[in-house]
Amino acid sequence: GKVEATLEAAAATTSLAFLPDSNTLAAGGGDNKVKLWDIAQKKAVQELTGPALAVLAIAAGDDGKLVVA
């Protein structure tokens, strides 16, 4: 396959999850943040903070309104 884009992160990415809309990718890692990426636009659209430790897993609710890390 061909690399279409590289999504930049401040720290190592340790977890990924597509939201139900199939156009949003949630990425989390060692910077204790979850970034939501718009795949079509190839850019971050939101940054979520809160965990005190590195993000090791991400899950999204069925409607895409809830992201748990």
* pLDDT score of 5: 82
What are the pLDDT digits (tens) for 2-35? 988 888 888 889 999 999 999 999 999 988 899 9
Rounded CA gap, 8 and 61, in Å?
25
Q: Supply φ then ψ for residue 50, to 5 degrees.
A: 150, -45
> What percentage of the chain has pLDDT greater than the value 90?
55
Rounded CA gap, 1 and 69, in Å?
30
Q: 44 is written with which tokens?
A: 């971050």
The CB density around residue 65, as the number of other CB atoms within 10 Å, is: 9
* pLDDT band of 51, cuts 50, 70, 90: low
